[in-house]
């Protein structure tokens, strides 16, 4: 069975969307990644840190989904990472109101012995030096290293971010962040520039407008499923990343064609995430529901055309 090592924040989030508000619910990049990846037949582990304010019921959620939390460090007397965001009416853009690193500020990640040979490493959103430290601890070069990041780290740790980007295979990034990283408006040009920085594959996420996968001269586009109800986009990007990395870990095939399927799996799981607040929908998502929706993706993207 393939092994997936997941690094990223495990957090408390406070979220405001046009449909409501929540205070201090479970969030964090590694949380969403691992919940999405748990849909696949793989072994997974989280490397992260929380404070002792982190409730047992959240830990139990991970364990019940067979996610190894032995390297999810709990700092006595420490406070967990806290993020507060408010979405605009279009739900495609948001303002970050608060980012409190708390225990993350002094975090030194420790990769568990039995995951030092992981097939896939998913470096979720976190300080790029922490992401780099995880790469350096691997006993053998993973088949695939995927990295997700955001503007916060471009603004606050660009040098470290560029260093880690040079060591990875796939970057998943949203359109605005791709533009910020490259100073290019065209996403095609931005993807080209990013490939020159290191990654062989670039995935640009465009929220409700889907995701683009670039590799040399090849491009693939996966739409987002048009949904009747979107309550809270938080975690969509991470659920995408979890679905993408989880599928590749299960199939152990990193051809471009399989990466295309991984993009569809990522989009599929992200579509569930946004249907309810926080992690609610991902917590009870059944494999059967995910499979049924995959068929909708197939119908949405297939057509016949005759050339005259």
Binding site for ligand AMP (CB under 6 A): 9, 11, 13, 27-29, 83, 99, 125-126, 150, 152, 234-238
Cβ burial, residue 254 (10 Å; 0-12/13-18/19+): middle
Q: 141-155 as b/e, with b when 16 or more CB fall inside 10 Å? A: ebbbbbbbbbeebbe
Half-sphere exposure of 207 (CA within 13 A, CB side): 13
Listed residue (280, 229, 234) closest to 13, CA to CA: 234
Q: How far is the CB of 10 from ligand AMP (least distance, A)?
A: 8
**CB of 307: closest distance to ligand AMP in angstroms?**
40
End-to-end CA distance of the chain: 48
Buried residues in 214-234 as b, exposed as e (16+ CB within 10 A): bbeeeebebebbeeeebbbbb
How far CA 146 is from CA of 117, 119, 120, 129, 172, in Å, comes to: 15, 11, 8, 15, 7
- What lies within 8 Å, CB to CB, of 215 at 6+ separation is 195, 200, 201, 202, 256, 259
Q: Which is nearer to ligand AMP, 152 or 221 (CB)?
A: 152
The radius of gyration of the chain from alpha carbons, rounded to an integer in Å, stands at 18
Residue 32 CB, shortest distance to ligand AMP, in Å, is 6
Q: How far is the CB of 27 from ligand AMP (least distance, A)?
A: 3
The residue among 151 and 195 lying less far from ligand AMP, judged by its C-beta, is 151
Q: Taking the CB of residue 298, how many other CB atoms lie within 10 A of it?
A: 10
Q: How far is the CB of 158 from ligand AMP (least distance, A)?
A: 14
Q: Which residues, 6 or more positions from 145, have their beta carbon under 8 angstroms from its beta carbon?
A: 120, 121, 123, 135, 167, 168, 169, 170
For the CB of residue 143, give the shortest distance to ligand AMP in the complex, in Å.
24
For ligand AMP, give the closer residue by CB, 29 or 119: 29
CB closer to ligand AMP, 33 vs 111? 33
Smallest distance, ligand AMP to C-beta of residue 102, A? 12
**22 versus 258: smaller Cβ distance to ligand AMP:** 22
Q: Report in angstroms how near the CB of residue 101 gets to ligand AMP at its nearest.
A: 8
Q: Which is nearer to ligand AMP, 13 or 119 (CB)?
A: 13
Considering the complex, state which of residue 2 and residue 30 has its C-beta at the smaller distance from ligand AMP: 30
Query: Which of 248/269 has CB closer to ligand AMP?
Result: 269
């Amino acid at each position: 069975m393939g092994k997936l090592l997941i690094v990223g924040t495990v957090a408390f989030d406070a979220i405001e969307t046009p449909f409501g508000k929540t205070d201090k619910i479970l969030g964090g990049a590694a949380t969403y990644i691992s919940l999405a990846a748990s849909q696949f037949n793989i072994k997974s582990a989280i490397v992260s840190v929380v404070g002792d304010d982190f409730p047992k019921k959240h830990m139990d959620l991970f364990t019940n989904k067979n996610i190894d939390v032995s390297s999810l460090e709990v700092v006595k007397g420490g406070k967990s990472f806290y993020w507060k965001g408010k979405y605009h009416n279009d739900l495609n853009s948001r303002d970050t109101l608060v980012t409190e690193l708390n225990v993350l500020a002094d975090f030194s990640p420790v990769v568990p012995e039995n995951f030092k040979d992981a097939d896939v490493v998913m470096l979720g959103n976190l300080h790029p030096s922490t992401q780099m430290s995880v790469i350096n601890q691997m006993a053998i070069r993973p088949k695939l290293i995927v990295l997700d990041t955001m503007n916060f780290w471009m603004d606050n740790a660009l040098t470290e971010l560029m260093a880690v980007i040079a060591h990875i295979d796939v970057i998943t990034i949203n359109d605005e962040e791709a533009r910020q990283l490259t100073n290019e408006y065209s996403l095609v040009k931005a993807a080209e520039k990013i490939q020159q920085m290191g990654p062989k594959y670039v995935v640009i996420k465009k929220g409700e407008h889907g995701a683009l996968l670039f590799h040399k001269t090849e491009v693939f586009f996966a739409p987002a499923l048009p949904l009747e109800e979107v309550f809270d986009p938080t975690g969509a990007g991470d659920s995408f990343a979890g679905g993408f990395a989880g599928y590749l870990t299960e199939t152990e095939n990193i051809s471009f064609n399989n990466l295309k399927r991984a993009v569809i799996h990522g989009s599929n799981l992200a579509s569930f995430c946004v249907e309810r607040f926080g992690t609610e929908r991902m917590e009870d998502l059944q494999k059967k529901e995910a499979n049924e929706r995959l068929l909708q993706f197939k119908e949405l993207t297939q057509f016949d055309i005759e050339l005259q």
